[in-house]
Amino acid sequence: MALRRDQLEGVFCAMVTPTRADGGVDREGTERLVEYLLDNGVTGLVPVGGTGEYTALTPAARREMTEVTARAAAGRVPVVAGVLSPGYGEAVAAGLDLAAAGADALLVLTPFYATSTQERIREYFRRYAAAVPVPVLLYEIPSRTNVALDPATVEAMVDDGSIVGMKACNTSLSQFVGVMRRVGDQIAVMSGEEPFFATHVAMGATGGILATSNLVPRLWNAVQEAARGGDLRAAMARQGELGAFLDAVFAETNPGPLKAAMGIAGLAVGEALCPLGPPTPAVRARLEDLVPKVMARERALGGAKMRAAAAE
């Protein structure tokens, strides 16, 4: 589909990749996860991003995960596949593969390791958008890449027609203000940081691409509804209900604790792949205490019955 700005709104799930004991993609588990997410108000699916363990998966597994997700979504919501490769050639090859697998758009990370100038990063995205057959969203996450973009660079990308949206994970609010002032009315700027989500939406973000929406999508929808309605105090209060849970989920590298939390809630998706793995006993104990409480809040919002993903 040719995505419009109004199709990049709401809570998009940065999906975990359900895996089998041998590390392969759990196709049935992925189908169940998609149905759980759509039943509970997610408006878009983002497989094989950072939460989806792009860097740990083989190209074949990335394609399989994208294909299963797109088939299960069946056009009900957009599917935006992650491309987290460090350089141009590999990123283009991955993008072509994932588009062929059914992705409606690609979430493309800024090139990293061999870092470059703002102008050359702009050129990278201009060339990339011309090389792939689906729209591109910019993924900026300086905490992982050490690459931060000037708002003027993002504006130049928009002027070039290179991007239709972005996942904003730069924790500088002044940078976010600059991006919104320059391009907020032209592309879909989506928050990628749970602690900043309510604030970003109040400042004009069209929604978010959130890891913990794998488990509590209705809670995040409630935060967005309050923030978009102009009640930032209520949005922050609702977001605050998730504070201790977020601290535990992100106490160790994502998605190890998140996958464990999903298993505790009855949505088994396997363990994080090497070089990650399950959380430490201390973090797991925190999750075992917090997950039932946060899921009670989720169910109180009218969420659909949890579909157990444990293998028969």
Going by pLDDT thresholds of 50, 70 and 90, the confidence category of residue 286 is: very high
Structure tokens at 275: 């070089």
Peptide bond preceding 195 in cis form (omega within 30 of 0): no
Is the pTM higher than 0.75? The answer reads yes
Residues catalogued as catalytic: 139, 167
Q: Is the pLDDT of residue 269 over 70?
A: yes
Going by pLDDT thresholds of 50, 70 and 90, the confidence category of residue 202 is: very high
pLDDT in tens, 230-244: 999 999 999 999 999
What percent of the chain has pLDDT above 90? 93
pLDDT in tens, 118-158: 999 999 999 999 999 999 999 999 999 999 999 999 999 99
Question: Average of pLDDT values for 166-193?
Answer: 97
pLDDT of residue 303: 53
Going by pLDDT thresholds of 50, 70 and 90, the confidence category of residue 309 is: very low
pLDDT of residue 4: 78
For 6-229, CATH gives 3.20.20.70
pLDDT in tens, 7-66: 999 999 999 999 999 999 999 999 999 999 999 999 999 999 999 999 999 999 999 999
The stretches of the chain forming alpha helices (DSSP H) are: 27-39, 59-73, 88-100, 118-131, 142-145, 151-160, 173-183, 197-202, 217-228, 232-240, 243-249, 256-264, 281-300
pLDDT of residue 304: 46
Helices 232-240 and 217-228 sit at what angle, rounded to 10 degrees? 160
Q: Is the pLDDT of residue 289 over 60?
A: yes
Going by pLDDT thresholds of 50, 70 and 90, the confidence category of residue 1 is: low
Q: Which residue has the higher pLDDT, 93 or 115?
A: 93
Q: Is the pLDDT of residue 282 over 90?
A: yes
Rg of the chain's alpha carbons, rounded to an integer?
Answer: 18
pLDDT of residue 204: 97
Structure tokens at 40: 């509970």
Distance CA(191)–CA(174), nearest Å, equals: 14
The distance from CA 114 to its chain's CA centroid, rounded to whole angstroms, is 24
The distance from CA 76 to its chain's CA centroid, rounded to whole angstroms, is 18
